[in-house]
């Protein structure tokens, strides 16, 4: 292991594949199993019991409620900050290590790039060799619209094309090494967002403090991301689009927020019409449109956030 104490944070509120392999393979890269911080993200102690039975030497942090991605990983990162680690790696629970050298490579890169708050490696999606695009760009509306149009004809995978370490706008949060000194200055993830677009906000805030995000093309993990629950009317799709509107308003890009909200609502209504014609999932699309219209209107009006904004994200 390269110089510097490193913690790894894995958080989940339920059992997921391949959790045992995820923890086992990441423990092998650490000097001590106690440096792996497992967060029971509001399972009612079910995952705490499971973790202590299967991995008695790791560190377990238990939350009373599900904080979604942001809350769960914030609890683990806060533990690492409080215990004076120099770096903390956040990694999804539905992953397993493909190359055990990747953590030391990330730490070595962090030693060289002293302005790096975040460094992300090459991630494989579902199978080795299939590179997941984890290099992302700030979602200005014109860029978003261009990507939406061109990705249907010629999708771009910046991670697959990268040949050397390079600064990026921000990284997909599936696997990221974070510098603790930067976290103390920038803060942790915005828990109001729950998940999705939180990585955009994090890197944006880091940039305001002079920190950068880097991509290092070193093979790391296989991400066994589920293929379902990403339907256009799903909770995940709702959170993604809602959080884009929220983030633009948060950073003062009011017109960007209006454009994104309008475009997202137009697409949702078009998909609802298509569902009606096909007579499939009509009620789900209707609920989605009603909820998104209501929440976007309140975000754009700068209403104080309450239960209407946060969990359970509209009961979609």
Contact 268, 285 (CB under 8 A): yes
What torsion, rounded to 10 degrees, do the Cα atoms 25, 51, 34, 174 define?
Answer: 50
Cβ within 8 Å of residue 21, ≥6 positions away: 96
Percent of the chain with pLDDT over 90: 84
- Quick one: DSSP state of residue 86? S
**pLDDT in the model for residue 1:** 45
What is the CA angle 126-76-173, rounded to 5?
A: 35
List, for residues 47-69, the tens digit of each pLDDT value: 999 999 999 999 999 999 999 99
Contact 102, 167 (CB under 8 A): no
List, for residues 271-310, the tens digit of each pLDDT value: 999 999 999 999 999 999 999 999 999 999 999 887 777 6
Contact 12, 76 (CB under 8 A): no
pLDDT above 90 for 130: yes
Domains of the chain, by residue range, sit at 6-223, 235-315
**pLDDT in the model for residue 231:** 85
Cβ atoms within 10 Å of 113's Cβ, excluding its own: 16
End-to-end CA distance of the chain: 45
pLDDT above 60 for 314: no
Contact 70, 11 (CB under 8 A): no
List, for residues 222-274, the tens digit of each pLDDT value: 999 987 767 888 888 999 999 999 999 999 999 999 999 999 999 999 999 99
Q: Tokens in use for 162?
A: 């990268």
Q: Which residues, in sequence order, are bridge partners of residue 12?
A: 40
What is the CA angle 248-202-133, rounded to 5?
A: 90
Helical segments of the chain, H only:
19-27, 46-54, 68-82, 102-112, 141-150, 158-161, 180-186, 198-208, 235-250, 254-278, 282-300
Contact 24, 45 (CB under 8 A): no
Q: Tokens in use for 117?
A: 């708050």
CATH class of 6-223: alpha beta
Question: In angstroms, what is the C-alpha Rg of the chain?
Answer: 20
Compute CA 170 distance to the chain's CA centroid, rounded to the nearest angstrom: 11
Cβ atoms within 10 Å of 230's Cβ, excluding its own: 12
- Residue that has been written with the tokens 């533990």 in this structure: 79
φ/ψ of 90, rounded to 5, equals -100, 135
Does the CA dihedral 197-211-136-142 come out positive or negative?
A: positive
pLDDT above 60 for 2: no
Q: Tokens in use for 80?
A: 């690492």
Omega before residue 274 within 30° of 0, cis: no
List, for residues 24-40, the tens digit of each pLDDT value: 999 999 999 999 999 99
């Amino acid at each position: 292991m390269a110089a510097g104490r490193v913690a790894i944070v894995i958080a989940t509120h339920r059992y997921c594949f391949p959790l045992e392999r995820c923890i086992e393979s990441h423990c092998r890269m650490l000097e001590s199993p106690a440096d792996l911080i497992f967060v029971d993200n509001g399972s009612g102690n079910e995952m705490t019991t499971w973790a202590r039975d299967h991995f008695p030497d790791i560190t377990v942090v238990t939350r009373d409620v599900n904080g979604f991605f942001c809350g769960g990983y914030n609890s683990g990162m806060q533990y690492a900050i409080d215990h004076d680690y120099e770096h903390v790696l956040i990694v999804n629970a539905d992953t397993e290590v493909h190359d055990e050298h990747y953590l030391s490579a990330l730490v070595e890169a962090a030693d060289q790039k002293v302005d790096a708050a975040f460094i992300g490696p090459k991630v494989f999606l579902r199978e080795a060799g299939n590179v997941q695009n984890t290099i992302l760009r700030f979602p200005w509306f014109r860029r978003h619209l261009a990507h939406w149009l061109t990705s249907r004809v010629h999708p771009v995978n910046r991670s697959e094309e990268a040949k050397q370490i390079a600064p990026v706008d921000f990284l997909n949060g599936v696997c990221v090494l974070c510098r603790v000194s930067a976290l103390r200055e920038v803060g942790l993830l915005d828990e109001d967002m729950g998940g999705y677009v939180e990585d955009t906000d994090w890197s944006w805030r880091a940039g305001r403090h002079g920190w950068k995000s880097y991509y290092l093309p070193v093979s790391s993990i296989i991400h066994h991301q589920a293929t379902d629950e990403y339907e256009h009317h799903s909770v995940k799709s709702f959170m993604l689009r809602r959080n884009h509107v929220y983030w633009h308003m948060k950073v003062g890009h009011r017109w960007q927020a209006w454009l994104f909200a309008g475009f997202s609502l137009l697409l949702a209504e078009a998909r609802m019409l298509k569902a009606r014609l096909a007579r499939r999932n009509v009620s789900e699309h209707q609920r989605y449109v009603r909820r998104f219209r209501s929440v976007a209107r309140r975000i754009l009006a700068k209403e104080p956030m309450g239960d209407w904004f946060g969990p359970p994200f509209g009961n979609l």
